[in-house]
């Protein structure tokens, strides 16, 4: 039985994670955390009767083995640091952590001899898309990403899009083309630019989480697309991560490390 804490448990993802964990006999939800919750309000939430509710990091009883985080970029860094320093293995689903924050967490994990996992996307379709994009980049160095999300998403570009761009850069053997004459007649018309990979972020009601990677070559094009139509699509990957994070050797980025 793996004991789990869910941070950000009242959010769209946190609530799904709570449901998945409580339904799995091999997992036990021992605590939940949100800085904004009143711990006296436990009855409002569908939590196991013995699940503890915390609203201050320094009050948390570190009896969980795994800390699952779906919060905010600022919160996730402090939360993961706290988890590592209190011997709970962090699985961070929260997007928007800077490269510097990730390096810092890797350092803290090493100092505390702890594992940890940052997962840009728990959806298997997205994990495959990212791997396929890395492969394609070897032959098609010219690529652009269009990510599409629900209108409530705080950060852009999405963590998945940034990670996809990083993998494309890793996978390509030549730089993409650059048009020296290019002029943006409206600011940011070409989107964000990660080492020559442009990222376009769409935010619309009705969408959940979707990504398209467009590759262009001489007289041909390749498009790879994945869709998460429901947040349920992230739960299988999260379940796998919770059950396998102890097998890692240190602090990793990407669900593929535990598949
Ligand atoms: N890796 C993946 O596969 C996926 C990642 N995500 C990412 O997960 C994150 C959460 O998304 P989503 O659930 O849609 O967002 P929500 O806004 O629905 O939920 C975020 C929750 O975080 C809580 N919160 C705020 N500050 C903190 C903090 N410091 N510590 C702990 N909890 C905090 C809020 O609490 P309260 O309600 O109590 O005020 C809120 O309920 C985002 O970064 C998103 O990009 C989303 C989907 C999939
Ligand atoms: O906010 C979301 O919804 C999602 N966030 C993650 C991201 O930023 O990539 C994962 C998924 O795209 C859903």
If asked whether residues 27 and 128 sit together in one domain, one would say no
For residue 58, what are the domain limits? 2-118+232-258
* Domain shared by 111 and 154, yes or no: no
Query: Residues 131-177: pLDDT tens digits?
Result: 999 999 999 999 999 999 999 999 999 999 999 999 999 999 999 88
Among 13, 101, 238, residue to substitute to test ligand 1 (most atoms within 8 Å of Cβ): 13
86 is catalytic: no
Closest CA to 234 of 122, 84, 86, 70: 122
**Residue pair 133/167 in contact by the 8 Å Cβ criterion:** yes
Integer Cα distance of 225 and 235 in angstroms? 20
Catalytic residue among 28, 81, 149, 198: 149
Hey, whose CA ends up nearest to atom 28 of ligand 1? 75
Mean pLDDT of the region 232-239: 98
Same domain, yes or no, for 166 and 206?
A: yes
- What CATH number is attached to the domain comprising 244? 3.40.50.720
- 252 with 218, same domain? no
Annotated binding-site residue? 10: yes
Measured from the Cα of 150, ligand 2's closest atom is: 3
Work out the pLDDT band at 62, boundaries 50, 70, 90: confident
The answer to whether the complex's ipTM is over 0.85 is yes
The pLDDT tens digits of the residues spanning 1-44 come to 999 999 999 999 999 999 999 999 999 999 999 999 999 988 89
9 and 88 assigned to the same domain: yes
251 known ligand binder: no
Same domain? 180 vs 251? no
Residues 100 and 164 in one domain: no
* 153 flagged as catalytic: yes
Could you tell me the two tokens for 192?
Answer: 């964000």
- Number of the ligand 2 atom closest to the C-alpha atom of 163: 9
Retrieve residue 253's tokens: 């980025």
Kindly write down the DSSP assignment for every residue of 122-156, as one continuous string.
--HHHHHHHHHHHHHHTT---EEEEEEE-TT--SS
Co-location of 176 and 141 in the same domain:
yes
The number of folded domains in the chain is 2
Residue 246 and residue 209 share a domain: no
């Amino acid at each position: 039985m793996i004991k789990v804490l869910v941070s950000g448990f009242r959010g769209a993802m946190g609530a799904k994670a709570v449901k998945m964990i409580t339904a799995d006999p091999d997992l036990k939800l021992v605590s939940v955390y949100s800085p904004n919750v009143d711990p006296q309000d436990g009855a409002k939430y569908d939590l196991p009767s013995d699940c503890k509710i915390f609203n201050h990091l320094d009050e948390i009883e570190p009896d969980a083995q795994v800390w699952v985080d779906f919060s905010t970029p600022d919160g996730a860094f402090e939360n993961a640091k706290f988890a590592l320093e209190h011997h709970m293995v962090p699985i961070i689903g929260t997007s928007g952590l800077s490269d510097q924050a990730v390096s810092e967490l890797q350092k803290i994990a090493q100092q505390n001899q702890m594992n940890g996992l940052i997962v840009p996307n728990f959806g298997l379709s997205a994990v495959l898309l990212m791997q396929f994009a890395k492969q394609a980049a070897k032959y098609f160095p010219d690529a652009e990403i269009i990510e599409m999300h629900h209108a409530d998403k705080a950060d852009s570009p999405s963590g998945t899009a940034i990670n996809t761009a990083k993998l494309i850069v890793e996978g390509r053997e030549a730089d993409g083309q650059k048009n020296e004459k290019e002029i943006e007649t409206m600011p940011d018309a070409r989107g964000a630019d990660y080492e020559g990979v442009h990222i376009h972020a769409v935010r619309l009601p009705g969408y959940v989480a979707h990504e398209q990677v467009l590759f262009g070559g001489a007289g041909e094009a390749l498009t790879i697309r994945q869709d998460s139509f429901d947040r349920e699509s992230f739960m299988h990957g999260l379940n796998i991560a919770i059950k396998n994070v102890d097998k890692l050797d240190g602090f990793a980025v990407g669900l593929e490390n535990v598949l």
